[in-house]
Amino acid sequence: RVLDLLATSGPLASREIPDTAEMAWESSGWTHDRNVTQMLEFLATSGEVAVAGRRGRQRVWNLADRVYPADVSVVPVEAASKIRDEKWLRSLGVARPKFVGDAGVSVEIEGTNGLWRVDPQATAEGFAGRTALLSPFDRLVHDRVRAVELFDFEYTLEMYKPKDKRRWGYFALPVLHHDRLVGKVDATADRKAGLLQVHAVHHDVSFTRAMTSAVAAELDALAQWLGLEVCVNP
């Protein structure tokens, strides 16, 4: 049904495809009951459909042979897996073998158990530390287990928790300082008031004056990018 509709009317957003599922997709996560979206994901994995573009935030889907060039080379599964693992490790720098296979080199990391894989390019150049406010979805913290193992950094996105159950805030931003994750910033954009409201800066470690100044500078930069002024709440 989905393939037939895309063939006659594609490209289409998922919301434009009727849900005719005889059995609903069940999940404990946000994909629960998103039958059309899940079917499109399965069809994309099998190479039958592909994302043809976007309309705002919505992905637009079409038949794969309409999206990819006709002369595109087909990579064997084993070679494709190797390319995927190498790219994945390159984006992370260091990862467990179960995620990246034999990509990179095998190492042990002090303070952790088991083996890791490291991208040689990640250590080939000199390291220049900086301070940054990260998205909760940043790959550095996306794997919560890895964040604890490598950085002793505990983090949970709490936007779906009741307010009284939150420890760090609705959309707390992890704080990277040089090669450490050192805290979280609880801030919200109040566009009506023209303010970036900073509710709290949670310290996982003791902040030096330099760290405090660097975080303040990052908040100023974020506010400027949003077209707001920083307001630190007491």
* CATH no. for 127-233: 3.40.630
CB count within 10 Å of CB 90 equals 14
Q: Which of 94, 226, 102 is nearest to 149 (CA)?
A: 94
CATH 3.40.630: which residues of the chain?
127-233
Strand partners, 107: 116
37 near 31, Cβ under 8 Å? yes
For residue 225, the Cα-to-chain-centroid distance in whole angstroms is 21
Q: Which of 54, 52, 19 is nearest to 38 (CA)?
A: 19
Fold of the domain built from segment(s) 1-66: Arc Repressor Mutant, subunit A (1.10.10)
pTM equals: 0.74
CATH 1.10.10: which residues of the chain?
1-66
CA angle centred on 136, ends 130 and 141, rounded to 5°: 65
User: Could you list the pLDDT tens digit for every one of the 234 residues in the chain?
Assistant: 889 999 999 899 988 988 877 777 666 555 555 788 888 998 998 889 999 999 888 899 999 999 988 888 888 989 999 999 999 999 999 999 999 999 999 999 999 999 999 999 887 777 788 999 999 999 999 999 999 999 999 999 999 999 999 999 999 999 999 999 999 999 999 999 999 999 999 999 999 999 999 999 999 999 999 999 999 987
